[in-house]
Protein backbone atom coordinates (compact mmCIF):
# COMPACT_ATOMS: atom_id res chain seq x y z
CA UNK A 1 0.00 0.00 0.00
CA UNK A 2 1.41 3.42 -0.91
CA UNK A 3 1.66 6.28 1.57
CA UNK A 4 -0.94 8.22 -0.41
CA UNK A 5 -3.43 5.38 -0.13
CA UNK A 6 -3.12 4.96 3.63
CA UNK A 7 -3.29 8.75 4.07
CA UNK A 8 -6.54 8.86 2.17
CA UNK A 9 -7.95 5.93 4.16
CA UNK A 10 -7.05 7.84 7.32
CA UNK A 11 -8.82 10.91 5.89
CA UNK A 12 -11.97 8.82 5.38
CA UNK A 13 -11.75 7.48 8.93
CA UNK A 14 -11.28 10.91 10.48
CA UNK A 15 -14.08 12.43 8.39
CA UNK A 16 -16.29 9.60 9.66
CA UNK A 17 -15.32 10.19 13.31
CA UNK A 18 -15.73 13.96 12.88
CA UNK A 19 -19.13 13.90 11.29
CA UNK A 20 -20.71 10.83 12.86
CA UNK A 21 -19.10 10.92 16.32
CA UNK A 22 -18.04 7.24 16.39
CA UNK A 23 -15.33 5.04 14.89
CA UNK A 24 -16.08 3.24 11.61
CA UNK A 25 -16.20 -0.55 11.37
CA UNK A 26 -13.66 -0.49 8.55
CA UNK A 27 -12.56 1.12 5.31
CA UNK A 28 -12.87 -0.13 1.75
CA UNK A 29 -11.44 1.41 -1.41
CA UNK A 30 -11.54 1.27 -5.19
CA UNK A 31 -9.18 2.78 -7.78
CA UNK A 32 -9.54 5.10 -10.72
CA UNK A 33 -8.35 3.81 -14.08
CA UNK A 34 -6.42 4.70 -17.20
CA UNK A 35 -7.16 3.21 -20.60
CA UNK A 36 -4.08 1.84 -22.35
CA UNK A 37 -5.86 1.42 -25.70
CA UNK A 38 -9.38 0.95 -27.10
CA UNK A 39 -11.09 4.34 -27.32
CA UNK A 40 -14.81 4.73 -28.18
CA UNK A 41 -14.89 0.98 -28.79
CA UNK A 42 -16.91 0.24 -25.64
CA UNK A 43 -20.30 1.41 -26.91
CA UNK A 44 -19.61 -0.38 -30.20
CA UNK A 45 -19.58 -3.72 -28.35
CA UNK A 46 -15.82 -3.86 -28.89
CA UNK A 47 -12.60 -4.35 -26.93
CA UNK A 48 -10.82 -2.15 -24.37
CA UNK A 49 -7.63 -2.53 -22.34
CA UNK A 50 -7.81 -0.36 -19.19
CA UNK A 51 -5.90 -0.76 -15.95
CA UNK A 52 -6.60 0.34 -12.39
CA UNK A 53 -4.29 3.08 -11.07
CA UNK A 54 -2.81 3.76 -7.64
CA UNK A 55 -5.19 6.65 -6.93
CA UNK A 56 -8.11 5.43 -4.86
CA UNK A 57 -11.36 6.49 -3.26
CA UNK A 58 -11.73 5.21 0.30
CA UNK A 59 -14.93 4.84 2.24
CA UNK A 60 -15.18 4.44 6.00
CA UNK A 61 -18.31 2.53 6.93
CA UNK A 62 -20.24 2.07 10.16
CA UNK A 63 -23.55 0.30 10.66
CA UNK A 64 -26.61 1.93 12.22
CA UNK A 65 -29.47 0.67 14.34
CA UNK A 66 -32.07 2.07 11.90
CA UNK A 67 -32.50 1.34 8.16
CA UNK A 68 -31.08 4.65 6.94
CA UNK A 69 -28.13 5.31 4.62
CA UNK A 70 -26.16 8.50 5.30
CA UNK A 71 -23.26 9.69 3.12
CA UNK A 72 -20.67 12.43 3.54
CA UNK A 73 -17.57 13.32 1.51
CA UNK A 74 -14.53 15.54 1.87
CA UNK A 75 -15.95 17.13 -1.33
CA UNK A 76 -19.02 18.45 0.45
CA UNK A 77 -19.61 19.33 4.09
CA UNK A 78 -23.28 18.37 4.08
CA UNK A 79 -24.33 14.83 4.91
CA UNK A 80 -27.17 13.34 2.85
CA UNK A 81 -29.51 10.91 4.56
CA UNK A 82 -32.15 8.63 2.99
CA UNK A 83 -34.14 5.69 4.43
CA UNK A 84 -33.12 2.55 2.52
CA UNK A 85 -36.78 1.87 1.78
CA UNK A 86 -37.07 5.23 -0.02
CA UNK A 87 -34.24 4.62 -2.54
CA UNK A 88 -36.56 2.85 -4.94
CA UNK A 89 -38.89 5.84 -5.16
CA UNK A 90 -35.97 8.24 -5.55
CA UNK A 91 -34.17 6.59 -8.47
CA UNK A 92 -34.33 7.27 -11.28
CA UNK A 93 -37.41 9.53 -11.44
CA UNK A 94 -36.77 11.85 -8.49
CA UNK A 95 -32.96 11.84 -8.64
CA UNK A 96 -32.91 15.66 -8.94
CA UNK A 97 -33.89 15.83 -5.27
CA UNK A 98 -30.44 14.48 -4.34
CA UNK A 99 -27.28 16.62 -4.64
CA UNK A 100 -25.31 15.29 -7.59
CA UNK A 101 -22.28 13.77 -5.86
CA UNK A 102 -24.49 11.79 -3.44
CA UNK A 103 -26.32 10.14 -6.34
CA UNK A 104 -23.20 8.04 -6.96
CA UNK A 105 -23.09 6.19 -3.60
CA UNK A 106 -26.85 6.27 -3.01
CA UNK A 107 -27.39 5.08 -6.60
CA UNK A 108 -25.03 2.17 -5.96
CA UNK A 109 -26.98 1.22 -2.80
CA UNK A 110 -30.18 1.35 -4.87
CA UNK A 111 -28.72 -0.72 -7.73
CA UNK A 112 -27.30 -3.31 -5.31
CA UNK A 113 -30.67 -3.77 -3.63
CA UNK A 114 -32.27 -4.36 -7.03
CA UNK A 115 -29.53 -6.72 -8.24
CA UNK A 116 -29.52 -8.80 -5.06
CA UNK A 117 -33.29 -8.99 -4.74
CA UNK A 118 -32.91 -8.17 -1.04
CA UNK A 119 -35.59 -6.20 0.73
CA UNK A 120 -34.50 -2.86 2.18
CA UNK A 121 -36.25 -3.59 5.48
CA UNK A 122 -34.04 -6.66 6.06
CA UNK A 123 -30.80 -4.70 5.78
CA UNK A 124 -28.85 -2.78 8.36
CA UNK A 125 -28.51 0.99 7.93
CA UNK A 126 -25.05 2.41 7.13
CA UNK A 127 -23.03 5.59 7.51
CA UNK A 128 -20.47 6.18 4.75
CA UNK A 129 -17.65 8.76 4.70
CA UNK A 130 -15.62 9.23 1.49
CA UNK A 131 -12.14 10.59 0.86
CA UNK A 132 -10.30 10.31 -2.45
CA UNK A 133 -7.02 11.08 -4.18
CA UNK A 134 -8.35 10.32 -7.66
CA UNK A 135 -8.17 13.54 -9.71
CA UNK A 136 -11.71 14.53 -10.75
CA UNK A 137 -12.49 15.14 -14.41
CA UNK A 138 -8.99 14.22 -15.66
CA UNK A 139 -10.28 11.12 -17.43
CA UNK A 140 -9.17 8.83 -14.59
CA UNK A 141 -12.70 7.91 -13.53
CA UNK A 142 -13.18 9.20 -10.02
CA UNK A 143 -16.80 8.22 -10.63
CA UNK A 144 -15.99 4.50 -10.98
CA UNK A 145 -13.78 4.77 -7.89
CA UNK A 146 -16.56 6.10 -5.65
CA UNK A 147 -18.98 3.54 -7.12
CA UNK A 148 -16.53 0.66 -6.63
CA UNK A 149 -15.67 1.65 -3.05
CA UNK A 150 -19.37 1.85 -2.19
CA UNK A 151 -20.23 -1.42 -3.91
CA UNK A 152 -17.50 -3.45 -2.28
CA UNK A 153 -18.24 -2.04 1.20
CA UNK A 154 -22.01 -2.58 0.98
CA UNK A 155 -21.71 -6.03 -0.62
CA UNK A 156 -19.63 -7.15 2.35
CA UNK A 157 -21.66 -5.67 5.21
CA UNK A 158 -24.95 -6.71 3.63
CA UNK A 159 -23.49 -10.15 2.73
CA UNK A 160 -24.79 -9.86 -0.83
CA UNK A 161 -24.27 -12.83 -3.09
CA UNK A 162 -22.89 -10.77 -6.00
CA UNK A 163 -19.63 -11.28 -7.87
CA UNK A 164 -17.30 -8.50 -9.01
CA UNK A 165 -18.91 -8.23 -12.45
CA UNK A 166 -22.31 -7.76 -10.76
CA UNK A 167 -20.80 -5.04 -8.56
CA UNK A 168 -19.39 -3.32 -11.66
CA UNK A 169 -22.84 -3.54 -13.27
CA UNK A 170 -24.43 -1.94 -10.21
CA UNK A 171 -21.91 0.92 -10.50
CA UNK A 172 -22.75 1.42 -14.14
CA UNK A 173 -26.47 1.34 -13.42
CA UNK A 174 -26.00 3.97 -10.70
CA UNK A 175 -24.07 6.18 -13.10
CA UNK A 176 -26.52 5.74 -15.99
CA UNK A 177 -29.81 5.91 -14.09
CA UNK A 178 -29.22 7.51 -10.68
CA UNK A 179 -26.71 10.13 -11.90
CA UNK A 180 -27.92 10.27 -15.50
CA UNK A 181 -24.56 9.90 -17.30
CA UNK A 182 -24.71 7.61 -20.37
CA UNK A 183 -21.41 5.76 -19.92
CA UNK A 184 -20.23 2.23 -20.75
CA UNK A 185 -19.00 -0.36 -18.25
CA UNK A 186 -15.26 -0.15 -18.91
CA UNK A 187 -14.44 2.07 -15.92
CA UNK A 188 -16.32 0.00 -13.36
CA UNK A 189 -14.85 -3.27 -14.65
CA UNK A 190 -11.31 -1.86 -14.48
CA UNK A 191 -11.90 -0.53 -10.96
CA UNK A 192 -13.36 -3.83 -9.72
CA UNK A 193 -11.00 -6.26 -11.49
CA UNK A 194 -7.66 -4.40 -11.56
CA UNK A 195 -4.41 -6.20 -10.67
CA UNK A 196 -0.94 -4.89 -9.87
CA UNK A 197 1.18 -4.47 -13.02
CA UNK A 198 -1.64 -5.80 -15.22
CA UNK A 199 -4.42 -4.54 -17.50
CA UNK A 200 -7.95 -5.85 -17.99
CA UNK A 201 -8.71 -7.04 -21.53
CA UNK A 202 -12.46 -6.57 -21.68
CA UNK A 203 -14.91 -7.71 -24.32
CA UNK A 204 -17.66 -5.11 -23.95
CA UNK A 205 -20.22 -7.41 -25.61
CA UNK A 206 -19.81 -10.56 -23.51
CA UNK A 207 -18.18 -8.82 -20.50
CA UNK A 208 -15.53 -11.54 -20.58
CA UNK A 209 -12.46 -10.11 -18.88
CA UNK A 210 -8.88 -11.40 -19.00
CA UNK A 211 -5.98 -10.18 -16.91
CA UNK A 212 -3.04 -9.26 -19.16
CA UNK A 213 0.39 -8.75 -17.58
CA UNK A 214 1.83 -5.35 -18.48
CA UNK A 215 5.33 -5.89 -17.16
CA UNK A 216 6.06 -2.15 -17.10
CA UNK A 217 8.06 -2.56 -13.94
CA UNK A 218 10.28 -5.35 -15.25
CA UNK A 219 10.84 -3.50 -18.53
CA UNK A 220 11.82 -0.30 -16.71
CA UNK A 221 8.87 1.60 -18.17
CA UNK A 222 6.60 4.23 -16.63
CA UNK A 223 3.24 5.41 -17.84
CA UNK A 224 2.86 9.18 -17.76
CA UNK A 225 -0.49 10.92 -17.67
CA UNK A 226 -0.38 14.37 -19.25
CA UNK A 227 -3.49 16.22 -18.12
CA UNK A 228 -3.97 19.12 -20.52
CA UNK A 229 -6.39 20.84 -18.17
CA UNK A 230 -8.62 21.45 -21.21
CA UNK A 231 -12.13 20.78 -19.98
CA UNK A 232 -14.20 18.40 -22.05
CA UNK A 233 -17.50 19.67 -20.66
CA UNK A 234 -18.30 21.08 -24.11
CA UNK A 235 -17.83 17.58 -25.52
CA UNK A 236 -21.35 16.33 -24.93
CA UNK A 237 -22.45 17.21 -28.46
CA UNK A 238 -19.33 15.74 -30.05
CA UNK A 239 -19.66 12.50 -28.08
CA UNK A 240 -23.31 12.10 -29.09
CA UNK A 241 -22.48 12.82 -32.74
CA UNK A 242 -19.74 10.17 -32.75
CA UNK A 243 -22.12 7.63 -31.24
CA UNK A 244 -24.71 8.46 -33.88
CA UNK A 245 -22.15 8.05 -36.71
CA UNK A 246 -21.17 4.65 -35.33
CA UNK A 247 -24.81 3.53 -35.22
CA UNK A 248 -25.37 4.79 -38.75
CA UNK A 249 -22.24 2.95 -39.96
CA UNK A 250 -23.34 -0.30 -38.31
CA UNK A 251 -26.82 -0.08 -39.82
CA UNK A 252 -25.41 0.59 -43.31
CA UNK A 253 -23.19 -2.49 -42.87
CA UNK A 254 -26.21 -4.49 -41.68
CA UNK A 255 -24.67 -5.50 -38.34
CA UNK A 256 -25.80 -4.94 -34.74
CA UNK A 257 -22.61 -3.04 -33.81
CA UNK A 258 -19.30 -2.02 -35.42
CA UNK A 259 -17.69 -4.80 -33.40
CA UNK A 260 -18.98 -7.05 -36.19
CA UNK A 261 -17.08 -5.20 -38.95
CA UNK A 262 -13.46 -6.28 -39.61
CA UNK A 263 -10.53 -4.53 -41.22
CA UNK A 264 -11.10 -6.70 -44.32
CA UNK A 265 -14.61 -5.24 -44.66
CA UNK A 266 -13.34 -1.65 -44.84
CA UNK A 267 -12.88 -1.39 -48.64
CA UNK A 268 -16.52 -2.45 -49.08
CA UNK A 269 -17.64 -0.04 -46.34
CA UNK A 270 -15.91 2.84 -48.14
CA UNK A 271 -18.19 2.38 -51.13
CA UNK A 272 -21.39 2.28 -49.05
CA UNK A 273 -21.24 5.46 -46.97
CA UNK A 274 -20.23 9.11 -46.97
CA UNK A 275 -16.62 9.98 -46.21
CA UNK A 276 -17.19 11.24 -42.64
CA UNK A 277 -19.20 8.18 -41.58
CA UNK A 278 -16.59 5.94 -43.21
CA UNK A 279 -13.76 7.54 -41.28
CA UNK A 280 -15.68 7.18 -38.00
CA UNK A 281 -16.22 3.51 -38.82
CA UNK A 282 -12.59 3.04 -39.80
CA UNK A 283 -11.45 4.38 -36.42
CA UNK A 284 -13.61 1.93 -34.48
CA UNK A 285 -12.75 -1.06 -36.68
CA UNK A 286 -9.00 -0.42 -36.66
CA UNK A 287 -9.02 0.49 -32.94
CA UNK A 288 -10.67 -2.83 -32.08
CA UNK A 289 -7.94 -4.57 -34.08
CA UNK A 290 -5.27 -2.52 -32.29
CA UNK A 291 -6.59 -3.68 -28.90
CA UNK A 292 -6.30 -7.31 -30.05
CA UNK A 293 -2.83 -6.62 -31.47
CA UNK A 294 -1.74 -4.90 -28.26
CA UNK A 295 -2.82 -7.87 -26.14
CA UNK A 296 -0.95 -10.25 -28.44
CA UNK A 297 2.13 -8.03 -28.53
CA UNK A 298 2.20 -7.70 -24.72
CA UNK A 299 2.02 -11.47 -24.37
CA UNK A 300 4.56 -12.29 -27.05
CA UNK A 301 7.01 -9.41 -27.03
CA UNK A 302 6.40 -7.32 -23.91
CA UNK A 303 5.42 -3.71 -23.29
CA UNK A 304 8.34 -2.01 -25.06
CA UNK A 305 6.89 -3.33 -28.36
CA UNK A 306 3.45 -1.66 -28.15
CA UNK A 307 4.58 1.90 -28.92
CA UNK A 308 3.57 1.89 -32.60
CA UNK A 309 0.07 0.69 -31.71
CA UNK A 310 -0.37 3.59 -29.26
CA UNK A 311 0.84 6.06 -31.88
CA UNK A 312 -1.47 4.59 -34.54
CA UNK A 313 -4.38 4.85 -32.09
CA UNK A 314 -3.69 8.55 -31.61
CA UNK A 315 -3.45 9.21 -35.35
CA UNK A 316 -6.76 7.43 -35.87
CA UNK A 317 -8.50 9.54 -33.22
CA UNK A 318 -6.95 12.72 -34.58
CA UNK A 319 -7.58 12.13 -38.29
CA UNK A 320 -10.49 9.69 -38.58
CA UNK A 321 -12.55 10.14 -35.41
CA UNK A 322 -11.55 13.82 -35.09
CA UNK A 323 -11.75 14.05 -31.30
CA UNK A 324 -8.28 15.38 -30.53
CA UNK A 325 -7.42 19.02 -29.74
CA UNK A 326 -4.14 20.92 -30.32
CA UNK A 327 -3.08 20.48 -26.67
CA UNK A 328 -3.42 16.67 -26.93
CA UNK A 329 -1.55 16.57 -30.26
CA UNK A 330 1.20 18.74 -28.76
CA UNK A 331 1.48 16.43 -25.74
CA UNK A 332 1.76 13.34 -27.94
CA UNK A 333 4.17 14.88 -30.45
CA UNK A 334 6.45 16.34 -27.78
CA UNK A 335 6.49 13.07 -25.80
CA UNK A 336 7.42 11.07 -28.90
CA UNK A 337 10.03 13.59 -30.05
CA UNK A 338 11.72 13.42 -26.63
CA UNK A 339 11.94 9.63 -26.60
CA UNK A 340 8.61 8.17 -25.39
CA UNK A 341 8.07 4.58 -26.56
CA UNK A 342 4.49 5.49 -27.49
CA UNK A 343 1.83 8.08 -26.70
CA UNK A 344 -1.83 8.77 -27.39
CA UNK A 345 -4.74 10.81 -26.19
CA UNK A 346 -6.95 8.85 -23.82
CA UNK A 347 -10.59 9.15 -22.82
CA UNK A 348 -13.51 10.63 -24.69
CA UNK A 349 -11.57 13.40 -26.41
CA UNK A 350 -12.01 17.15 -26.95
CA UNK A 351 -9.64 17.72 -24.00
CA UNK A 352 -8.65 15.69 -20.97
CA UNK A 353 -5.42 13.73 -20.85
CA UNK A 354 -2.83 11.96 -23.00
CA UNK A 355 -0.74 9.00 -21.87
CA UNK A 356 2.89 8.33 -22.74
CA UNK A 357 4.86 5.13 -22.20
CA UNK A 358 8.37 6.18 -21.23
CA UNK A 359 11.60 4.49 -20.12
CA UNK A 360 12.13 5.28 -16.44
CA UNK A 361 15.40 7.06 -17.20
CA UNK A 362 13.66 9.41 -19.63
CA UNK A 363 10.69 10.46 -17.49
CA UNK A 364 12.23 13.79 -16.53
CA UNK A 365 13.33 14.57 -20.08
CA UNK A 366 9.90 13.82 -21.51
CA UNK A 367 8.14 15.78 -18.75
CA UNK A 368 10.35 18.80 -19.40
CA UNK A 369 9.93 18.55 -23.17
CA UNK A 370 6.12 18.37 -22.98
CA UNK A 371 6.01 21.27 -20.52
CA UNK A 372 8.27 23.34 -22.80
CA UNK A 373 6.19 22.52 -25.88
CA UNK A 374 3.02 23.70 -24.08
CA UNK A 375 4.73 26.95 -23.10
CA UNK A 376 6.00 27.49 -26.64
CA UNK A 377 2.46 27.06 -27.99
CA UNK A 378 0.99 29.45 -25.42
CA UNK A 379 -1.01 26.68 -23.69
CA UNK A 380 -1.44 26.60 -19.90
CA UNK A 381 1.03 24.25 -18.20
CA UNK A 382 -0.11 20.61 -18.18
CA UNK A 383 -0.16 18.45 -15.05
CA UNK A 384 2.09 15.43 -15.57
CA UNK A 385 2.33 12.42 -13.26
CA UNK A 386 3.00 8.69 -13.43
CA UNK A 387 0.33 6.06 -12.88
CA UNK A 388 1.01 2.54 -11.68
CA UNK A 389 -1.15 -0.44 -12.67
CA UNK A 390 -2.70 -1.42 -9.34
CA UNK A 391 -5.14 -3.73 -7.57
CA UNK A 392 -8.92 -3.30 -7.83
CA UNK A 393 -11.56 -2.67 -5.18
CA UNK A 394 -10.97 -4.28 -1.79
CA UNK A 395 -11.32 -3.90 1.94
CA UNK A 396 -8.28 -1.91 3.11
Segment 44 to 63, residues that bind ligand ADP, using CB under 6 A: 57
CA 374 to chain centre: 26
Q: Is 158 in the site for ligand ADP (CB under 6 A)?
A: no
8-state DSSP, 142: H
Pairing of strands 68-73, 125-132: parallel
Cβ burial of 129 (10 Å; 0-12, 13-18, 19+) is buried
Using the rule CB under 6 A, give the single segment among 17-25, 86-94, 138-146, 323-331 that binds ligand ADP. 138-146
Contacting range for Mg ion; rule: CB under 5 A; set: 105-113, 137-145, 165-173, 313-321? 137-145
Give 37's contacts (C-beta < 8 A, 6+ positions apart): 48, 49, 287, 290, 291, 294, 306, 309, 310, 313, 344
CA 105 to each of CA 24, 264, 395: distance values in angstroms, whole numbers, following the listed order = 17, 44, 16
C-alpha span between 229 and 27 (Å, rounded): 31
**Least distance to ligand ADP, CB of residue 259, Å:** 24
Instruction: Compute the 3-state secondary structure of the chain and give helix, strand, coil in percent, each to the nearest 5.
Output: 50, 20, 30
Q: How far is the CB of 342 from Mg ion (least distance, A)?
A: 24
Say whether residue 188 binds ligand ADP (CB under 6 A).
Answer: no
187 annotated active-site: yes
Please check whether residue 53 is in contact with residue 32, taking contact to mean a CB–CB distance below 8 angstroms: yes
- Pick one of 41, 116, 141, 316: the residue that binds ligand ADP (CB under 6 A): 141
The only residue of 27, 29, 41, 132 in contact with ligand ADP, by rule CB under 6 A: 132
**Near Mg ion by CB under 5 A: residue from 29, 143, 152, 245:** 143
388 binds Mg ion (CB under 5 A): no
The one catalytic residue among 45, 133, 187, 396: 187
Residue 316 binds which one of ligand ADP, Mg ion, none, with CB within 5 to 8 A depending on kind? none
**What residues line the site for ligand ADP (CB under 6 A)?**
57, 73, 75, 100-101, 104, 130, 132, 136-137, 139-143, 146
Please give the positions annotated as active site.
187
Amino acid sequence: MTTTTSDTAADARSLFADRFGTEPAGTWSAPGRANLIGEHTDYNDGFVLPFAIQHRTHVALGTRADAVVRVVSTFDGDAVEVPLADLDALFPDRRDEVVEWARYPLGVAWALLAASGRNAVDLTGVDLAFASDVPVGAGLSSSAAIEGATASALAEVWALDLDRVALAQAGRRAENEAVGAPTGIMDQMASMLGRADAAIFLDCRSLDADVVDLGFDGAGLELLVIDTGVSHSHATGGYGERRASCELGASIMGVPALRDVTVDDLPRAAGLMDDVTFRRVRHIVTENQRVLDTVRTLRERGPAAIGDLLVASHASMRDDFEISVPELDTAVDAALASGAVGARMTGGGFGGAAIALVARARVETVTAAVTAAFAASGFSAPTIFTVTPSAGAARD
